[in-house]
Copies of this chain bind each other. A is one copy, B any other.
Amino acid sequence: MINKLVENIKRTKAPIVVGLDPMLNYIPQHIQKKAFAEFGETLEGAGEAIWQFNKEIIDKTYDLIPAVKPQIAMYEQFGIPGLVAFKKTVDYCKEKGLVVIGDIKRGDIGSTSSAYAVGHLGRVQIGSKSYVPFDEDFATVNPYLGSDGINPFIDVCKEENKGLFILVKTSNPSSGEFQDRLVDGRPLYELVGEKVAQWGENHMGDEYSYIGAVVGATYPEMGKVLRKVMPKSYILVPGYGAQGGQGKDLVHFFNEDGLGAIVNSSRGIIAAYKQEAYAEFGEEHFADASRKAVETMIADINGALENR
């Protein structure tokens, strides 16, 4: 799946990922009204609104992008019907040839990590039959519990040719509270990065490892160091756009080959129509605004990479 991600990135010339993190207040009124008319102001109604919103954005952007990253929390908050919308979104994106990174930030130990891995990346055995419950291509994983938490995920990834992005340095202001603390003179996130590189050696694709890392766009200097600590790991970079990161800040997340990083934007793309820059499209044509925002983001990042 890392090979497919790299292929998709080369084909689209777009080292970006669209974060499908719908909030109800991002969803245009005409979509909400239609969904609520059919299902009422219920969890099912919310799930339907999210799904229709996602579908239109995917339809208008899939040819430009290599991958999407649905944030499961935004679906889980609507309970079972929200998770049904998550699953529909994953399936539809895969039909469209997109790589799906499930932003699930799970993490536990032993058989519990195995269960998460099976549920999201693998197949579960029930008697003589097996099923693929959520079937994302990659999942984000939290490393706080150490190798006992990560290895069960890697085992499933090896069986299924799937991959992980492990949280190393997150994009939020308080990420330093624990991640930046010095251990033997070096910040904790570097030690986590070293472990990611080690874990990644066990599950290599053609050019890059199936085991990648999450490093926030808001910390470009740390990205520069971590790029060298984990040369074969793809870096998933959240924090572009709405959180403050810009293309010029991101060049050091990439390797010399122009590969090795994939930059996420969520609100900046899916709620683009709410920004002044895209107001001309209007709420009705929100997905056209998203397409335009994707084009702008690709140009920003590729421009920065060409000028480095």
Contacts and interface: CB of A to CB of B under 8 A. Distances in A.
A148 B173 contact: yes
Contacts of A174: 145-149
Contacts of A113: 73
Most chain B CB within 10 A, of A107, A115, A120, A192, is at A115
A119 interface: yes
A45 B126 contact: yes
Given A108-B105, A134-B79, A148-B174, A182 B179 contact: no
A82 interface: yes
A188 B179 contact: no
Given A126-B41, A167-B145, A183-B182, A116 B46 contact: no
Given A24-B125, A80-B87, A83-B83, 5 more contacts: A36-B127, A78-B126, A80-B84, A105-B106, A146-B178
Interface residues of A, number: 72
B175 A146 contact: yes
Contacts of A178: 143-144, 146, 188, 191-192
Interface of A: 21, 23-24, 32, 36, 41-43, 45-46, 71, 73-74, 76-80, 82-84, 87, 105-113, 115-116, 118-120, 124-129, 131, 133-134, 142-149, 167, 170-179, 181-184, 188, 191-192, 195
A208 B116 CA distance: 32
A108 B175 CA distance: 11
Contacts of A126: 24, 41-43, 45-46, 78
Contacts of A74: 112, 115
A33 to B, nearest CB: 10
Given A23-B111, A115-B73, A126-B43, A133 B79 contact: yes
A172 B148 contact: yes
A114 to B, nearest CB: 8
A181 B188 contact: yes
A21 B76 contact: no
